[in-house]
Amino acid sequence: MRFEIFVFRWLGLVATTASTAYAFHLPEHQIPLQNVLQESLGQQKYTSKYAGLGVLDDPRKLEDLFWSLTTEDAINAFQNMPALEHGGHKRPIVLGQYKPDIPATSKESQALNGNHPASLEISMSTIGGYPVYHTPIAIGNPAQPLRAWLNLNLNGLYVRSTACSKQDCGRGYTYDPSRSATRKSIGHRFEVHPKDWTVGGNVSSDTLHLVSIDVGNATVGEIDKYEGEDLFYYVMEFIADG
């Protein structure tokens, strides 16, 4: 079996902020690993070294993820996870939930960041047989979850704005600039013309959340104009400088 859990420092806030309203709402099939552990092993509290989103299907490093968890308890916990069975598959698990909805500039937010590393889960999809890699990110305050295509040679952070019509931009994750308290307009629009296509929108700055890391005043290209074939990733290949 393989153990895949994607971890990042979270300062052990799960236990202390359980009642806080979270900016990042978990899908129904994802549950905090702390909850699973406490249910499996009784009421003992386990504090995570990390927070993250991922799939757990092997107990080997559970003890590495929680300060007070022994190897024996890790194995017991893994073997007593009936709640994770869903449709014959192990459910995805979150190790810790997204951090609470607090202003990115507040002292609490700075404490949450704490210069600690983060880990984002990378998934792969194929478009026309061509693999693309993507990861969950979030932008704004409250954080708006998005799924971003990754490119090692691209300079921009581009998001699909709610201002782009469904007809032009399809469905799925969108960024609503009006809902973010930290979004600032830069007062410029960008527009690029890869081949015969057009991609454009407003340029703004907002907080980029990479799980536990906040990048304040990140430049964001809010795509609200998209004319071309439905091959966004291919279009983006041409947006990089050069």
Partner 1 sequence: MSGDEANLYSALGLAPPNAQTLAYSPLTASNPLYELMRSHAVEHNILTLTLPDSVQDRGSLQIGVSPQSSEDSIRIPFANATSPGLANSWHVPLDSVSLNGNIKLHLPLASVYGRLDLEPAIRLPPSFTEVIYKAIGATPNSLFHGASIACTAREKLPDLILNIGGNDVKLTRDEYSSEQLVYGHPVCVVAILPSDEEGVAVLGTNLLRKFRVVIDMDRSELGCKRAHLHIRSSC
Which pair of structure tokens corresponds to residue 235? 């279009």
Please tell me what DSSP assigns to residue 100: B
Q: Is 111 in the site for partner 1 (CB under 8 A)?
A: no
Shortest CB 182 distance to partner 1, Å: 13
Shortest CB 46 distance to partner 1, Å: 21
When the beta carbons of 41 and 239 are compared against partner 1, the nearer one is 239
Among 13, 223, 224, 225, binds partner 1 (CB under 8 A): 223
H or E, element range at 229: none
Q: Is 104 in the site for partner 1 (CB under 8 A)?
A: no
Q: Is 152 in the site for partner 1 (CB under 8 A)?
A: yes
Q: Three-state SS for 85? A: strand
Interface of this chain with partner 1, residues 125 to 144, rule: CB under 8 A: 125-127, 129-135, 137
Burial class (CB in 10 A: 0-12, 13-18, 19+), 22: middle
The two beta strands, 213-227 and 198-210, are antiparallel
Q: CA 82, CA 84: separation in Å to the nearest integer?
A: 5
Give how far the C-alpha of residue 63 lies from the chain's centroid of Cα atoms, to the nearest Å: 24
Among 30, 154, 176, 238, binds partner 1 (CB under 8 A): 154
Shortest CB 42 distance to partner 1, Å: 28
Please tell me what DSSP assigns to residue 25: P
Q: Is 150 in the site for partner 1 (CB under 8 A)?
A: yes
Interface of this chain with partner 1, residues 189 to 218, rule: CB under 8 A: 190-192, 203, 208, 210, 213-218
Q: Is 83 in the site for partner 1 (CB under 8 A)?
A: no
Among 31, 33, 37, 55, binds partner 1 (CB under 8 A): 55
Which pair of structure tokens corresponds to residue 150? 């990754």
Interface of this chain with partner 1, residues 25 to 54, rule: CB under 8 A: 54
Q: Is 239 in the site for partner 1 (CB under 8 A)?
A: yes
Per-position DSSP letters for 204-226, written without gaps between them: EEEEEEETTEEEEEEEEEEEEEE
Q: Is 116 in the site for partner 1 (CB under 8 A)?
A: yes
Q: Is 11 in the site for partner 1 (CB under 8 A)?
A: no
Among 76, 90, 156, 163, binds partner 1 (CB under 8 A): 156
Please tell me what DSSP assigns to residue 228: S
Q: Is 59 in the site for partner 1 (CB under 8 A)?
A: no
Q: Are 100 and 22 in contact (CB under 8 A)?
A: yes
178 residue type, one letter? S
* Number of residues binding to partner 1, judged by CB under 8 A: 77
